[in-house]
Amino acid sequence: ALRSIAGKSGQEALQLLGNGEDAAAVVATAAAFAAEGDDFTETVLEAVNAGGASDSRGAIAGAIAGAHF
């Protein structure tokens, strides 16, 4: 799943992988949101507001963003 979204935005990753509860898709889309974010708050809000498994996606994106910023 991660290879299929390389270089894609969070929204593009969602369109490609879906917005369900599949663990691989949630992790991959969270990584995409974290990669495109410019700050911690923006990253987490974008990931959570995407819907679907928003709690998991937000937590994972926040963890990645927290380590980055």
pLDDT at position 14: 84
pTM for this predicted structure: 0.82
Helix (H, G, I), strand (E, B) or coil at 21: coil
The per-residue pLDDT for 20 is: 75
- Tens-binned pLDDT, residue by residue, of the chain (69 aa): 667 788 888 888 888 887 777 888 899 999 999 999 899 999 999 999 998 899 999 999 999 999 988
